[in-house]
Amino acid sequence: MKANDVQPNSFTYNYIINCCAQEVSHDENEQRISFEIAIKAFQELRKMAASSNNNDDDSCSTDAYHPDSFTYAFTLKACTNLLPPSPFRTKVATQVFKESCKKGYCNDEVMKRLRWCVDTDNFHELIGTDARDVRINDMPSSWSRCCLPSKRRR
């Protein structure tokens, strides 16, 4: 894309991260390579957002060049599927989750992916409660201020 002077956007990067997260090989080297690609895509999207005109953490970006709730959910999915349970996986997941909250892009899918990625104690510590069934509506509204309202299925 870049070679053809086409600028990738958040949809492009989210697609890359999600494809990597779905790596089905049990080969540790292939999983590591997939994780590295996913993290590189995540970092590139963050870099694009940082270089845009809107760097205020409290405002919600309206352009297509910033991480969104899909980005954070797919990155947590990549951590869960491609990294073995370890302090490193917990550290990465914690950073991704905290950033999603800070930027206002935490939703129920991000919370679900976090729950699958870290152990129960770390999950409860990160969300600030030991309640069993927690939804984003139970959390501070600032965590999800930039998320679009979910549509209920009928």
pLDDT of residue 25: 87
Give the pLDDT confidence of 103-118 residue by residue, as tens digits.
999 999 999 999 999 9
Averaged pLDDT score across all residues of the chain: 90
CA distances from 45 to 35, 50, 93, 98, 118 (A): 15, 9, 17, 17, 24
Amino acid letter, residue 20: C
DSSP symbol at 3: G
Angle at which helix 69-82 crosses helix 87-103, to 10 degrees, equals 170
Rounded CA gap, 97 and 73, in Å? 9
How do residues 90-103 score in pLDDT, each as one tens digit? 999 999 999 999 99
| Phi/psi at 36 (5° precision) | -60, -40
- Rounded Cα distance, 73 and 100, in Å: 9
pLDDT digits (tens, 9 = 90+) for 14-57: 999 999 999 888 899 999 999 999 999 999 999 999 887 555 56
Q: Could you write out the three-class secondary structure of 31-90?
A: HHHHHHHHHHHHHHHHHHHHHCCCCCCCCCCCCCCCCCHHHHHHHHHHHHHHCCCCHHHH
Residue type, 125: E
pLDDT band at 152 (very low <50, low <70, confident <90, very high): very low
Going by pLDDT thresholds of 50, 70 and 90, the confidence category of residue 63 is confident
Share of the chain above pLDDT 90, in %: 74
